[in-house]
Structure 1
Amino acid sequence: MTVLSTRALNRATLARQLLLDRAGLPVLDAVGHLCGLQAQEPQEPFTGLWSRLRAFDPAALSDLLTGRDVVRTHLMRRTVHLVTAADVLTWRSRHDAMLRQRVLGVYRRELAGVDLDELAAAGRAVLADGEPRSMSQLARAVADRWPGPAPRALGEMLVAALVPMAQLPPRGLWRTRAGVRNLPLSSWLGREVDPPSADGSDPVGQALVRRYLAAYGPAATADLRAWSGLAGLPKAVAAVRDELVAFRDERGRELLDLPGAPRPDPGTPAPVRFLPAFDNAILGYDDRDRIIDREHRGLSVAGARMVLVDGRVAATWTVEDGTVLVTPLRGLSPAERAAVGEEGGALASFLSDGAGDRTRILDG
């Protein structure tokens, strides 16, 4: 079985994630290809798409949100993702059990004795008037019926697990600060989410395997589980296995992939790219060695924004007074510093509508 080096996996990830060459895709198609973007920090998807698309216009993403073509919702790993309306309607039921279990993992003691189906029905009844509500408003509305649990436990279970919700604009619009207002997906999108398969098959799980590999492969089943949060995908993998090709990584793990998916030559040059906080190019794997050194792995879950140099995390970045500040995690050569400065200046210009293009690389 062919062994793929860490560098080969890196170049494959960059190609699948639209980070090797900026793509000319429409924004909606890019969001779909990426299987959504991590979005608990509302402005971060704009940087993520700017780094991936040619001539990205942030207004296009805002228009998709207000036009209900993309939705902010809890989905993979119980985190807020920006996904296409078509995907959330198809995928949400497949994530229901995982979402319940993850919220219970935090609030099991507080929610002991609460019938979750009754709680879901009570939440839906409150929301039946069509008025969006914050999590705290929804929790207060049902708290009289369940006075024991902390309101946050009730609210989070309702919003993140029991009732498929959309976080409504203006939250998530370009350069807009707004609190979270929730409305059931069925009200916002005009129809209920697709129900689970009645015959016990898992067509959605099988589609998720294919879609994940298209955007993240080659990858191990543990990587698929880490990205989705779903533990019950082995049958889906087995069902599509004859469609896939297999490799091994340098640790001996089996990696699966779509046969025609891009696997660039490991020597392919990789441009500097600035990633937003919690980008799935890093978080979408159990084994992240292909893109970040193990000593820096903790940064990926701490909300640090990353800079890729030669395809790997080599620095973090922030913005201060319109200047992109870069903190290297290793020594950068003069050529690398120049490339980081150029891309950082372009990012500063994007973030400021052309008012500034300054990058400062900090020295340790």
Structure 2
Amino acid sequence: MSVSMNVGTGGTRTIYAAERRARLGVRHRLAGGARAGSAEEVADALVALHGTDPASVFLAVGARLTGRNGPVAAVERALYEERSLVRMHGMRHTLFVFPSALAPAVQASTTDPAAVRERAVLLKHLAAGSTFGGEWLAETERLVLAELAVRGEATGADLGTAVPVLRSTYVYGPGTRQEGVQSVASRVLRVLDMEGRIVRGRPQGTWTSSRFRWAAAAPHPPWDPAEARAELIRRWLGACGPATEADLKWWTGWKVTDVRQALAAVGALPVTLEEGTGFVLADDLGPVPEPEPWAALLPALDPTPMGWQARDWYLDPEHRAALYDRSGNIGPTVWWNGRIVGGWAQRPDGGIVHRLLEDVGAEAERAIGAEAERLAGWVGDVRVTPRFRTPLERELAGPA
């Protein structure tokens, strides 16, 4: 069964919300028959997994895998042993997990320009609040990289012990209300990370920990920035198209001129959406298979609800206040057939609880309950608290 095609005025293909939701269920590996067999398949299908909250990576993969086994071993193997997935800064200066093959395009299109700004800001702060300069910073970085070459992996504390200058401090914002003493360690490591010279390795503690070890990174092969932007747009439209220009600008964090050039480079075609003009790849105008009814429990910052700026086609605006924090970060969500219909949380005793924000019927309630049971089964004794708490998640989780 397929969603029917619609042609608007002037022959432009019209894609309504129902068809977009069908695409989402299949291409984001959420519908039952579309689920993936590996963490790499999930990351490849979604292009990027939000990595700001380490637990979200595992929860996002787990929601899309076949069977009832959890994703922890598979994700850890991909990230820390095979390096088929890599955690790095990407769009909007945010941490993501990408397929390693895509990392060079992300670095050239998005991370490199941000890294240039990050280094310039650090040098400016050091000049204003210390006696350190460019030569000092370069030598400190050389010592850090040399230590990692010997150790393989090391925590920030380990590096501070081995490279004492890394524990140096400077005055941030001298003469302002923000004035304070800061360590250079986190800033130096951040610059090296954004430049693709070091990478986060296995964390201390469980898979929910953000206390990562550091390792030297394999150098990215050079890409022309314009070609890299085109590759990233091509991959993203394949996963998330159709999308508006505003969606693409928001997701990438690029200038609108860069978005338009990348759309032209991949030969994207305009389509009519309910919110205006969208774009798809030239070979993506045909009908899509309509999946069987499906349910999913997705984590905070999951790439699906965070994939588009305009979200009314899968989220009732009346639910926003309960599901987002004040900065626009989405919390854990319950999905039915391509729409967000509620939220979920884990209580201190480990129980997975959810609340529906609209009537979805008995079939949906059973399917949602089965997904909650599957999630609880593999999470086990681990406690997951989103880094960015939202009103409904706080209420469901109850007192700590």
Q: TM-score, normalised by structure 2?
A: 0.73
Report if the CA contact (8 A) 1:74-1:80 is conserved.
Answer: yes
Report if the CA contact (8 A) 2:51-2:97 is conserved.
Answer: yes
1:202 positional shift: 1.7
1:306 aligns with 333
Pairs within 5 Å for 1:1-364? 1-21=12-32, 22-55=34-67, 57-67=71-81, 68-100=83-115, 121-122=138-139, 124-131=141-148, 132-134=154-156, 141=165, 144=168, 147-148=171-172, 151=182, 155-156=186-187, 158-159=189-190, 162-164=194-196, 165-170=198-203, 175=207, 177=209, 179-183=211-215, 187-188=216-217, 191-197=218-224, 202-231=226-255, 232-241=258-267, 244-260=268-284, 263-264=287-288, 268-297=291-320, 299-300=323-324, 301-320=328-347, 321-352=349-380
Amino acid of the structure 2 residue aligned with 1:319? Q
1:358 aligns with none
1:180 positional shift: 2.7
Report if the CA contact (8 A) 1:226-1:284 is conserved.
Answer: no
Match of 1:52, SS state, is: coil
1:217 positional shift: 1.0
- CA-to-aligned-CA distance 1:65-124 (integer Å, 9 cap, x gap): 221222222222222211222322342132235534886999999578699976863552
| Paired residues, number | 342
Amino acid of the structure 2 residue aligned with 1:312? R
Report if the CA contact (8 A) 1:46-1:174 is conserved.
Answer: no
Q: 1 CA distance for matches of 2:18 and 2:126? A: 46
Match of 2:249, SS state, is: helix
Match of 1:19, SS state, is: coil
Show structure 2 runs of 5+ residues with no match.
1-11, 149-153, 174-180, 382-395
1:144 positional shift: 4.8
1:317 positional shift: 0.6
Match of 1:308, SS state, is: strand
Q: What percent of counterpart residues are identical?
A: 22
- CA-to-aligned-CA distance 1:38-73 (integer Å, 9 cap, x gap): 122212222211221213543121111221222222
Show structure 1 runs of 5+ residues with no match.
354-361
Amino acid of the structure 2 residue aligned with 1:42? P
Q: Compared with structure 1, are the counterparts of its residues 98 and 163 closer, same or farther at alpha carbon in structure 2 (3 Å cutoff)?
A: closer
Match of 1:281, SS state, is: coil
2:3 aligns with none
Report if the CA contact (8 A) 2:26-2:291 is conserved.
Answer: no
Q: Compared with structure 1, are the counterparts of its residues 98 and 316 closer, same or farther at alpha carbon in structure 2 (3 Å cutoff)?
A: farther
